[in-house]
Chains A and B, each alone.
Chain A
Amino acid sequence: MSDARDDIVTVGLLAEGMHDPGVPPAGIRRAPTGVDDLATEHLIVNMGPQHPSTHGVLRMLVELDGEEVKNAEVTLGYLHRGIEKLAEHRRFDALGTLMDRGDYVSGIMGETAVALAVEQLMEIEVPRRARWIRVMMAELNRIATHLLWYGTMGLDTGAMGPFLYAMRDRESLLDILEAVSGARMMFNYVRPGGVVADLPVSIEAKIREFCDAFDTYVDEHDAILAGNEIFQARLDGIGVIDAEMALAFGLTGPNLRASGVDFDLRKRRPYDAYDEMIFDVPLGVTGDAMDRFSVRMEEMRQSSRIIRQCIEGMPEGGYTAKVPKVLKPPAGEVYASVESARGEVGIHLVTDGGTSPYRMHYHGPSLYALQALEDLMPGYLLADGCIMIGSADIMLGEVDR
């Protein structure tokens, strides 16, 4: 039986004194003689890093009693690239490229966080048009991110169709993002001082066309999953995070708002041009998976609303402030954060007056959501665990950095 242990690495759960399933614990007979003597053991399965519903390279050790999760332990680090260390050798205008590879589906928002930090340090005044472009791009990117989450949420529940419908819309979004920034995902578009290039001609028409189509599509998306009784039965009451727990775990973004806490950096600490935008912040009530679903669906509608305001009222002017070719912020320390699609993405920069940061700390929301999962999963079924991972919308690129 010793071979059976090959797929269980003895870390965490096992090290904490839980018995190894390969060796019967003392006092339990291997060959039962009657029903009363039947010994049952918990099954420890290794979920990930290649498991289809762990959304990347998450690895969880899950202790199962039948199908019920008794214990779950998250193992991190399969996608660690040392982004914070790499940042110490990048010029300030190149930090955005690292952020693109952190949360690799909402790059614009990560880039904005870095740009805001550098701008605060150097006291750069960003032109109004540039701020509006940033907002518009960030919201386009937010919809693209939420669409990916929506599709994988469908896959987690076993519905294949919604994923492909979501990808249809996401493709047209990525086309727009590509037309503006030149790249589909690794944009490097938002730079300290503004953005790297002005909007291309006639992009407004394309964006308006997308918004018109999307406003009907998003209702379709909502109907095909949230309108399905099976889907409701799968999500209702699963993974309840109340406001207290959400705050204790430091959750931000849709996960926090689904628990009913009204905290959105776009409203609370407006950056770029968000103080000029009119939009609502959807809130959940109970904080279960269904609330997290509805909050994100509503956020997509609100993003579309913001994008419309941006194309209607896009101010004239320059797309970037006058910034030196080589950025050299004064020695100091700054924290800037943005409301990314998943929550608060914060950048803590420490500079020593050189051309690259002395230290950059990258605060991402997914890590905190992931930690909450460990507490949520015990007591639920394995299938519910997949729903929780999906509804928490974790991004492993950002967790592992």
Chain B
Amino acid sequence: MSPTLAVVVKLVSIIALMLTNGVFMIYLLRKVLGHLHIRLGPMHVGPHGILQTMNDVIKLLTKEDLTPRLADKALFFLAPMIVFVPSFMAYLALPFSDTLKATSLETGLLFTFAVLSVVPIGILLAGWSSGNKWGLLGGMRSAAMQIAYEVPLLLSALPVVMLAGTTDLGGIVDAQAGTWLSVIPRWFITNPLIWPTFLIFVIASLIEVNQTPFDMSEAESELVAGFGADYSAMKFGLIYLSEFSNTFVMSALGVTLFFGGWLVPWIPMSWYEAVPVLAPTVFMLKTYLGIVLMWWIRGTYPRVRIDQLMDLGWKRLIPAALVMIVLTGVVDKLIVPLFNGAVSW
């Protein structure tokens, strides 16, 4: 396969994955939330409503694409793409298995965080350009939030990087192979030193994916629909596809950093080669477990206020993350070597 063709195939596969994933996730979200709320979710289009999302996609595609009279037309058009493209790019470095990944980036973790941090800029633009005051408020909230959570999110990934010794996502997974005392998988989550870090990561990633305890930029009961108030048809579709895609990416990152990525404990490495679909399946299952966990929180919790979020981000998460980095460094580089390799992470 020529290199150009390979790139095209990879990009098309990512888009296909993103779309099918999005469609499935929307259906799953409705069902999960439905059952959390003692109702059924979609039931009418297809058996158990499985075609409901397809129906909605067709609806979005055929709807009239409205641009408000007061909108800044160029930016209004551009904003959904600025939201969508980084979400798409975030898939590039994700390792679905040892071999199944679009690209093997030395700086995969940084790259993923970097592209994801562009999304709020798109949301700010979307809110600002739609010429709607609620949209503007939503966009501003999004921009203010971004700084408060991007920093702790990145900082909370650093202890993992320190333990793994690499920012390549594939390398981080490899560092989690094997078991302790041939029972406990050597995933970073089984390391008590990482637990506070994981908590910070979970909170920061909930803010990143814009979901209920932290859905301030949308905040239906306060800002009507926030930045998305004036979007219709497929522009709306792109923004929400990106939101779902970010949920997937954040969950996948969590799985990669803390839960051993595509690894299954207790099985020999040769099995992955013998059954090529094993690793990606495991990875997807773990990721979806993380997604359902996020939605569980989404279906239960009320929303925090914007200043409370700022407090949480600046006064709690960032100092805590910094402390954890120092602590991890001290334990990993000073205390562990004292035991002379008898215990290694």
Q: A residues bordering B, Cβ < 8 Å?
A: 3-4, 7, 43, 45-46, 51-53, 64, 66-67, 154-161, 164-165, 168, 224-225, 228, 230-231, 233-234, 381-384, 386
Contact = CB atoms under 8 A, between A and B. Distances in A.
Contact of B221 (A7, A43, A52): A52
30 contacts: A3-B69, A43-B133, A43-B136, A45-B133, A66-B140, A67-B141, A154-B302, A155-B221, A158-B213, A158-B215, A158-B302, A158-B303, A159-B303, A160-B212, A160-B299, A161-B37, A164-B38, A165-B37, A168-B38, A228-B301, A230-B213, A230-B304, A231-B302, A234-B302, A234-B308, A381-B307, A382-B137, A383-B303, A383-B306, A386-B221
A383 to B, nearest CB: 5
A161 B300 contact: yes
Given A53-B221, A53-B222, A155-B221, A233 B304 contact: yes
Contacts of A64: 137
Interface string B94-136: 0000000000000000000000000000000000000101101
A75 B220 CA distance: 22
B70 to A, nearest CB: 6
Contacts of A224: 300
Nearest to B36: A161
Q: Which of B37, B222, B303, B307 has the most CB of A within 10 A?
A: B222
A53 B305 CA distance: 15
B249 interface: no
Contact of B39 (A164, A230, A386): A164
A311 B38 CA distance: 30
Nearest to A4: B70
B224 interface: yes
B219 interface: yes
Contacts of B137: 43, 45, 64, 67, 382
Contacts of B131: 4
A383 B305 contact: yes
Contacts of A165: 37-38
B129 to A, nearest CB: 14
Q: Which range holds the interface residue count of chain B?
A: 20 to 34
Contacts of B219: 158, 383
A59 to B, nearest CB: 13
A230 B33 contact: no
Given A160-B33, A234-B302, A382-B222, 5 more contacts: A52-B220, A67-B137, A67-B141, A159-B301, A230-B302
Interface string B136-169: 1100110000000000000000000000000000
A7 B307 CA distance: 28
Nearest to B218: A158
Contacts of A168: 38
B302 A159 contact: yes
B72 to A, nearest CB: 12
B224 to A, nearest CB: 6
A382 B301 CA distance: 20
A386 to B, nearest CB: 5
Interface string B36-62: 111100000000000000000000000
Contacts of A384: 305
Given A67-B137, A383-B306, A230 B70 contact: no
Nearest to B215: A158
B303 A230 contact: yes
Nearest to A152: B221
Nearest to B131: A4
B221 A158 contact: yes
A67 B306 CA distance: 9
Contacts of B212: 158-160
Contacts of B134: 45
Contacts of A225: 302
A67 B141 CA distance: 9
A73 to B, nearest CB: 16
B136 to A, nearest CB: 8
Nearest to B311: A233
Contacts of A155: 221
Contacts of A67: 137, 141, 306
Closest 8 pairs (CB-CB, A-B): A158-B303, A157-B302, A159-B302, A164-B37, A53-B221, A45-B133, A231-B302, A383-B222
Nearest to A62: B133
Select the residue from A52, A228, A383 with max chain B CB neighbours within 10 A. A383
Nearest to B34: A164
B285 to A, nearest CB: 26
A71 to B, nearest CB: 15
Contacts of A53: 221-222
A233 B302 CA distance: 10
Nearest to A385: B222
Nearest to B39: A164
A67 B222 CA distance: 11
